[in-house]
Structure 1
Amino acid sequence: MIISGIKWMFLIIGTMIGAGYASGRELWQFFGTESTLGIVLFSILFFICTTVILNISYEKESGHYIPVLNELMGKRLTKLYDGMIVLYLFSVTVVMIAGGGATLQVLHIPYWYGVIIISSLLVVLFIWGINGMTSMNAFIIPLLIIFLVGTLTVFQWTTGFSFEIDLTSQSNWPAAFTFTALNILPLIAVLGAIGGKIKRKGEIWIASGGSAFILGTISLLYNESLLKVSNEVMLYEIPLFAILKHYPYFMVLIMTGLLWAAIYTTAASGILGLCTRFYEYLKMPFWLLSLFLILLMVPLTTFGFSQLISILYPIYGILNLYVLAAIILHPIVNKFQLE
């Protein structure tokens, strides 16, 4: 049970820590100054959401996200949000592929070469399907967490720890709702595909609690580190490199590799959600479905990594607030219905 719970925990974290989050761009977009309370609130909301989604998936023994949406939204709204999820997964995977190209530019690899590399590896991954994804997450995500937390901790140590704890100056706490809402749809898409594979309810608590704690801790540490280089963040396509410029070049190489790997796992999560949704209609192997989807996505990466995130993410965050409300209220509504 513990091993399975940890496996799902890494799947959740792998879905969250993608191009936007791991690079720091997404955190900087939503949080920044006076956001400590907002990040704590995000952790609590994230725990509630993953627990509710996993419980519904487990009870429905779902193989894709439609049963979860039906339970949360009702059949009428499910059609609307089904379309939104498809559009969301498609556009966010475009962001991930663009991020893969942008990240490798640090190693002097041309942008389009980077895009081709990550696209090819995504197609190869889906020869093995979900099992390949969970195994890869279980290997990559712990490494990313160790190196990211280590890098940020050393940076804080050398510049002097300074965390905001004055609750009277935490005006940015509402950002927790839009930031959590932003990440709801990919979680529904990915966790809705594993309901039939969860064996015990204990796995759900391990996955939800562990992922919420780890993501909350990293978010707090990351946000405070970015605040210390706030004057330089806008000069970088990927804000993490504003912090890494204070480190030896080999650390830049290591973090670039791990950042790219995180982008890859999140892109894979997006493709998985799309493939599981369309499989019943097209009956094509996942690798062929992923190839077709990626060929549609690649031309859209020309919009630029940070521009895509700055435009798309806040819009989806607001639209998804209704989904967030439905998830939070679901246990309460269910309890009244049972009574």
Structure 2
Amino acid sequence: MIISGVKWMFLIIGTMIGAGYASGRELWEFFGTESTFGIILFSVLFFICTYVIMNISFQKESEHYKPVLKELMGHQLTRLYDAMIILYLFSVTVVMIAGGGATLEVLHIPYWYGVVILCSLLILLFIWGINGMTSMNAFIIPILIVFLVGTLTVFQWTTGFSLEIDLRNQRNWPAAFTFTALNILPLVAVIGAIGNKIKHRGEMWIASGGSAFLLGSISLLYNESLLKVSNEVMLYEIPLFAILKHYPYFMVLVMTGLLWAAIYTTAASGILGLCTRFYEYFKMPFWLLSFFLLLLMIPLTTFGFAQLISILYPLYGVLNLYILASIILHPIINRFNSSIKT
């Protein structure tokens, strides 16, 4: 049970920590100054949402996200949000691919070479399906977390630790709702694909609690680090490099490789959600489905990494507030309906 719970935890974290999050761009778009309480609130909301989605997925023994969506939204809105999830997964995977190309440019690898390498590895991954993806996350994500937290901790140590805890000046707390809402659709898509593989409820507590705690802690540390280089963040496509410029070039190489790996895991999560959704229509192997999806995505990466995130992410965050409310209220409504029936 513990091993399975940790495996799902890293799958969830791998869905979150991608081009937008690990690079710092996503955190900077939503948080920044006066955001400590907002990040703590995000952690609580993330725990609630992850557990509710896993519970529904477990009860439905789902193989893709549509049964979970029907439970949350009802039959009338399922079609609308089904289309939204498809569009979201498609566009965010485009962002991941663009981020993969942008990251490798730091190593003087041409942008399109990075894009081709990332897409080739995605197709290769889906020869093994979900099992290959969970194993990859369980290997890559702990390494990424250790290096990211280590880098940020050393940076804070050398510049003087600081944490904004004055609750009287925390005006950015509403960002917790839009930031959580932004990440709801990929969670629904990925967790919906593993419902038939969850065996015990304990797995859900470990996965949801562990991922919420780790993401909340890392977000606080990361946000405070970015605030210290706020004057330089806008000069970088990837804000993490504003912090890494204070480190030896070797560390830049290491973190670039791990950042690229995180981008890869999130792109894989997006492809997984799309493949599990379209499989019932096309009955193709996942690697072949991913090949055709990637052919459609590659031309769209020319819009630019930072531009895509700054436009798409806040928009989806606002649009997803309704599904966020549905997830939070779902246990309350279920208990109310059960009491009426009895």
Q: Give TM-score scaled by structure 2 length.
A: 0.99
Distance of 2:123 and 2:166 partners within structure 1: 48
Distance of 1:27 and 1:175 partners within structure 2: 10
Cross-structure match for 2:195: 195
Count of residues in correspondence between the two structures = 339
How far 1:82 sits from its partner (Å)?
Answer: 0.1
Cross-structure match for 2:90: 90
Cross-structure match for 1:81: 81
How far 1:272 sits from its partner (Å)?
Answer: 0.2
**What's the secondary structure of 1:238's corresponding residue?**
coil
Cross-structure match for 1:286: 286
Distance of 1:119 and 1:3 partners within structure 2: 30
State, as a whole percentage, how many aligned pairs show the same letter. 85
Distance of 1:129 and 1:285 partners within structure 2: 9
How far 1:141 sits from its partner (Å)?
Answer: 0.1
How far 1:160 sits from its partner (Å)?
Answer: 0.3
Structure 2 residue identity aligned to 1:212: A
Structure 2 residue identity aligned to 1:120: S
Cross-structure match for 1:123: 123
Distance of 2:150 and 2:273 partners within structure 1: 32
Cross-structure match for 1:42: 42
Distance of 1:284 and 1:213 partners within structure 2: 38
Distance of 1:188 and 1:240 partners within structure 2: 28
- What is the root-mean-square deviation of aligned Cα atoms in Å? 0.3
**What's the secondary structure of 2:236's corresponding residue?**
coil
| Deviation string, structure 1 residues 209-247 (Cα, Å, up to 9, x no partner) | 000000000000000000000000000000000000000
Distance of 1:165 and 1:117 partners within structure 2: 43
Distance of 1:205 and 1:58 partners within structure 2: 12
Q: How does 1:165-244 map to 2 (within 5 A)?
A: 165-244=165-244
Cross-structure match for 1:264: 264
Cross-structure match for 1:59: 59
Matched, 1:101 2:101: yes
Cross-structure match for 1:330: 330
Distance of 2:278 and 2:76 partners within structure 1: 20
Cross-structure match for 1:132: 132
How far 1:144 sits from its partner (Å)?
Answer: 0.2
How far 1:45 sits from its partner (Å)?
Answer: 0.1
Distance of 1:4 and 1:126 partners within structure 2: 20
Distance of 1:242 and 1:31 partners within structure 2: 17
Q: Give TM-score scaled by structure 1 length.
A: 1.00
Structure 1 residue identity aligned to 2:243: I
Distance of 1:232 and 1:166 partners within structure 2: 25
Q: How does 1:239-318 map to 2 (within 5 A)?
A: 239-318=239-318
Cross-structure match for 1:32: 32
Distance of 1:66 and 1:333 partners within structure 2: 20
Cross-structure match for 1:159: 159
| Deviation string, structure 1 residues 41-100 (Cα, Å, up to 9, x no partner) | 000000000000000000000000000000000011000000000000000000000000
| Deviation string, structure 1 residues 144-164 (Cα, Å, up to 9, x no partner) | 000000000000000001100
**What's the secondary structure of 1:171's corresponding residue?**
coil
**What's the secondary structure of 1:247's corresponding residue?**
coil
Moved over 2 A (4+): none
Distance of 2:285 and 2:13 partners within structure 1: 26
Distance of 2:12 and 2:284 partners within structure 1: 26
Matched, 1:4 2:4: yes
Distance of 2:207 and 2:167 partners within structure 1: 30
